Amino acid sequence: MKTSLFLFALLGLGGSLSLTSCQKEPESAVVGTGNPTNTGNTGGSQTGTQTGTPTIRVQTLLTNYEIIWGMDFLPNGDLLFTERKGRLFRYAGGTATELTGLPTDINISGQGGLLDLRVHPAYATNGWIYCSYSSSPAGSRATQLNLIRFKINANRITNLETIFKTSATNTWYGHYGARIEFDKNGLLYFSVGEGGPSSYGGASSPNQNAQNVKTEWGKIHRMTDSGQVPADNPTLPGNTTPTTIFSYGHRNPQGLALNPFTGDLWETEHGPKGGDEVNIIQSAKNYGWPLVSYGINYDGTPISTSPTRDGIQAPVHTWTPSIGTCGLAFITSDKFKDWKGNLVTGSLPLNYLSRCAISNNKVVSEAKLLENQGRIRNVKQGPDGSLYVSIEGPGRIVQLIPE
């Protein structure tokens, strides 16, 4: 792996801007660049031909939706996005068109609904699109998490298949995780939150789903693009054969992104009170929940005497207090100059987009973008090299355009 050194500068905390209008028409504004506050090297294989702090223009593409949870791009640049309440849209040429033919059993209770969306990396040849959603079997009050794939023909969903589903044991409609990502070999990763009856940390917590390799909840799953178990998946302690479970001990993983510079799978998950995590996902590793955490329970009781333990994979970064991390992407565009290689994730309760500089697989500094615009649900880099950010209240997508 070739290691390249280049300097980067960080946007100061004062560098965000205010967007006050909720009109449907696009609007633009310029992000102040602030002063560089740090320099260093990425320590990875990131390379950049342009240096300096980018000037960012922010444009609102669409607004007045419910929570826009999932979004991804077709090869032609069309943007597909989900509304949590159960609608799917294609945005093209300045207009959003609703697609028809979604499953009819979407359950939008609590944190559930129509969640993530991912376009197959070989979409141009196979036409597959993936979505996750929660549902309740007939007669049940508990929910399950589903992973489906389908094609689109004339704004209608066709060829709909369910390729993975959990047991229907989520009785509080929370902590679904539900992000979808692919690796460079075309294998699919699906983050499934702890589900279960509640969320409470500690060895005596009644919800040990994340440590139980017999349940799908609280895991990162790895499968073929049709939902089969790859032959080189791990056989976890207590199992006799490989399953789709790739790693375990996860609480509510709502960020999943392949690091295109290293090929590693990066994940973010919500901690309890404190202890939000960035993890690099490795086969068969235990990421600790609910046995250890950098956070504490919401009632103030401790979860573990130490946030780390032998045999448990430590996060590469934590946030205390929690930022409520949701959505995850790597900046790969040269247009972002010194921000190339940075990790970006949304903060739900603190209302900003976190931009993290990485060195040697650690987060070495953080800056805030889009402060006080609303809860940030998702972020993706588009094929045009700009960032697309889903913000709530009202649900909207803004584009961060480097100039």
| Residue number, 69 or 287, with CB nearest to Ca ion | 287
Nearer to Ca ion, 288 or 346 (CB): 288
Could you list the residues that contact Ca ion (CB under 5 A)?
A: 287-288
Residues 6+ apart with CB under 8 A from 398: 19, 58, 59, 60, 61, 370, 373, 388, 389, 391
Query: What is the dihedral angle through the alpha carbons of 116, 99, 119, 400, rounded to the nearest 10 degrees?
Result: -70
Residue 18, Ramachandran bin (φ over 0: left; ψ between -120 and 50: alpha; else beta) = beta
| Cβ partners under 8 Å of residue 51, min gap 6 | 6, 7, 8, 337, 338
* Cβ contacts of 169 within 8 Å, gap of 6 or more: 142, 144, 195, 196, 197, 209, 215, 217
From 120, 175, 270, 317, the catalytic residue? 175
How many CA atoms are closer than 13 Å to the CA of 117, on its beta-carbon side? 29
User: Smallest distance from the beta carbon of 288 to Ca ion, in angstroms?
Assistant: 4
Question: Closest separation between CB of residue 315 and Ca ion, Å?
Answer: 6
Count CB atoms within 10 A of the CB of residue 362: 12
Helices (H), 82-194: 123-126
Closer residue to Ca ion in complex, CB, 61/312: 312
Catalytic (active site) residue 175: yes
Which has the closest alpha carbon to 361: 273, 244, 275, 278? 278
Put the strands of the sheet holding 56-65 in their side by side order. Answer: 28-31, 56-65, 395-402, 387-391, 376-381
Please state, in angstroms and rounded to a whole number, the distance separating the CA atoms of residues 251 and 233. Answer: 21
How near is the Cβ of 275 to Ca ion at its closest, in Å? 8
| Choice between 286 and 373, CB closer to Ca ion | 286
- Which residue's beta carbon is nearest to the bound Ca ion? 288
The kind and range of the H/E element at 366 are strand 362-369
**Which sign, positive or negative, has the C-alpha torsion 103, 111, 363, 14?**
positive
Look up tokens 């990131």; give the residue: 46
| Nearer to Ca ion (CB atom), residue 42 or residue 322 | 322
Specify the length of the chain in residues: 403
Least distance in Å: CB of 286 to Ca ion? 9
Q: How far is the CB of 139 from Ca ion (least distance, A)?
A: 35
Q: Which is nearer to Ca ion, 288 or 327 (CB)?
A: 288
Cβ 306 to Ca ion shortest distance, Å:
12
Q: Which residues are catalytic?
A: 175
